[in-house]
Structure 1
């Protein structure tokens, strides 16, 4: 479990540092992502790299990315993790533009390393208005 947590911590730091190469080094080549930003789903590392570039451009003042309430379940070669993420960016004049998101990450142990093979981020939404609820808070 420590190795899995270490991968998530390294990945999280790479996100905050906006280090695209290090971010992508944590993904399997066949990554499948259901990201909360724009795309319905993204398949494969090249496509996800392009998506990450787009997302990083949206965060001009710096990325905020925190992992809270991390839960890890694993077997010898598969891991299932879920957590709440406080994520967003620092905007002009130092103001934060953040929201709480839900995250599920599945990892595979391959060639001696844990790699993220599936990732899902979402925000709750109001079915009556169809709008995302960005001010939801953890319980």
Structure 2
């Protein structure tokens, strides 16, 4: 149960580091809609998102973990709706915690409170695109 919006993002951080698909998916609504930066224009529903997340976690190199951090966030919240936007960094670290590489995506999350628990109903991640070479700009 995610009583506070901040609980959702603590879970996100922990689940990514642990490469735990089920834990990661726990706050996502069954009918979630996602606009992602990687491989697909959008994902509709938890099953499509589960397949993408599973592939993501399996694809991480052996002996590598990801530390995530939401920064620069701003949010608005009322009793049953929340909007959170910010920058999510993904830092690959080795077994000793040494940072190997890092990238930053821009994120927007829409959440609804259902039966007392916050759920992500929509997520949008993006990267700016260079006008010079049409390549993504990784922060």
How many residues matched?
A: 134
| Cα deviations by residue, 1:17-54 (Å, 9 ceiling, x for unpaired) | 11111111110000111111111100000000000011
Q: In 2, are the aligned partners of 1:59 and 1:89 still within 8 Å (CA)?
A: no
RMSD: 2.0
Matched, 1:127 2:131: yes
* Alignment partner, residue 10 of structure 1: 11
* Alignment partner, residue 116 of structure 1: 120
CA distance in 1, matches of 2:91, 2:37: 12
Q: TM-score, normalised by structure 2?
A: 0.87
Q: Going by fraction, where is helix more abundant, 1 or 2?
A: 1
Instruction: Tell me the SS of whatever aligns to 2:112.
Output: strand
CA distance in 2, matches of 1:89, 1:57: 14
Measured after TM superposition, the shift of residue 107 of structure 1 is 0.3
Equivalent runs, 1:12-91 vs 2, <5 Å: 12-60=13-61, 61-90=64-93
* Alignment partner, residue 97 of structure 1: 101
Q: In 1, are the aligned partners of 2:13 and 2:67 still within 8 Å (CA)?
A: no
Structure 1 runs of 4+ with >2 Å offset: 88-91
Give ranges in structure 2 of 5+ residues lacking alignment: none
Give ranges in structure 1 of 5+ residues lacking alignment: none
